[in-house]
Structure 1
Amino acid sequence: MTLQLDPAAQNLLFRDAHTANTFTDEPVTDEQVRAVYDLVKYAPTAYNQQPLRVVLVRTPESRERLVGHMTANNAPKTAAAPLVAILAADNEFHEELPNQFPVFPEAKDLVFGERPVREQSATLNAALQIGYFILGVRAAGLAAGPMTGFDAAGIEKDFFPDGDHSVLVVVNIGKPGENASYPRGPRLDYDEVFDAV
């Protein structure tokens, strides 16, 4: 094998991991979430920007508000998960960049296509961070159930009223429950994805 990661870790993070739809009642602690973040905070991003913002939905009132924004298929899963995280891109991420990277404040209103460049960058780089976040959840021995079936505008108004954030995904987190995942779907083979020129 040419991989450096031991086979057990490979299986935990990749081969045996599935999107979870049901969870046990075991809680997910703040310590677990902090450990996940400490592991994944060095995800590669342009200019080392860190546009990802996460809201942990802990209170029953907040959970009820969030469930109201989920599609019919996702609402029951979101209501029952031990922990739910709302992952969003901070479109004002440039305010957190070190001074040696002034490009985004200067290009605040630069537009390519229909969206400002800064927002496009926030979305792409937050998505990279989300991939790492899901791997971190798996590394903690937990399962993730990422979902995009929701009313984004409603969640943004409810949980990010400043208007500067774009919700990208809602993730249910916990120990997988009974019949937690669907059978794995097919994946493309190497030769269907890669080409050499």
Structure 2
Amino acid sequence: MTNPIPTNIQEQLFTQARTVHAFESHPISDEQISQLYELMKWGPTAFNAQPGRYVFVRSEAAKERLLPALSPGNVAQVKSASVTVIVAYDTHFYEHLPSLYPAMDAKPFFEGKPAVTEVAALRNSSLQGAYLLLAAVSYTHLRAHET
């Protein structure tokens, strides 16, 4: 099989990827966050439902409000990171399906079915969180090669 992307990119995204415990202290701009979102939003979800919702936590005050929700092992990481992203989901994502997935009327698959909707929202927003992570890693890779 021919590699669809260069081996060094595959390594950066998958085979050499590891959990990060230390972060650079440079700020992440609104423009950079927008660029990440613009890239990751193209990742596929079922029916193009796009249930993920994101909160970008950057200020010290916002981080302090977040700390009680964290496991103790993540507190120092959140405090030191330029931005922490909360990946959440909208359980009423199906309301947007007529415009997001006009190929068919998919809304009846979810409307009035909270258990189905919850599972679909969780699964697809988790995928979207992974897409955001991969987008961030790809930008890190590009930045490393610009210097």
User: TM-score range with shorter-chain normalisation?
Assistant: 0.7 to 0.9
Between 1:9-18 and 1:73-82, the stretch displaced more is 9-18
Q: Kindly indicate whether residue 126 of structure 2 is the aligned counterpart of residue 137 of structure 1.
A: no
Residue in 2 aligned with 1:16?
A: 16
Stretches (4+) displaced over 2 A: 99-111
Q: 1:10–1:103: structure 2 CA closer, same or farther, 3 Å change rule?
A: closer
Work out the CA distance in 2 between the residues paired with 1:127 and 1:84: 16
RMSD: 2.1
Normalized per residue, the structure richer in helix is 2
Work out the CA distance in 2 between the residues paired with 1:80 and 1:21: 10
Q: Deviations over 1:123-171 (max 9, x none)?
A: 11111111111110100107xxxxxxxxxxxxxxxxxxxxxxxxxxxxx
Matches within 5 A, 1:164-183: none
Pick aligned residue for 1:109 from 99, 102, 112: 112
Q: Deviations over 1:94-126 (max 9, x none)?
A: 122226454435743225xxxx21111111111
Normalized per residue, the structure richer in strand is 1
Q: Equivalent pairs: percent with the same residue?
A: 33
Matches within 5 A, 1:144-155: none
Q: Normalising to structure 1: TM-score of the pair? A: 0.64
What stretches of structure 1 of length at least 5 have no aligned partner? 143-174, 176-197
Residue in 2 aligned with 1:51?
A: 51
Q: How many residues align?
A: 139
Q: Deviations over 1:26-65 (max 9, x none)?
A: 1122222211122221111111110000000122211101
Q: Normalising to structure 2: TM-score of the pair? A: 0.83
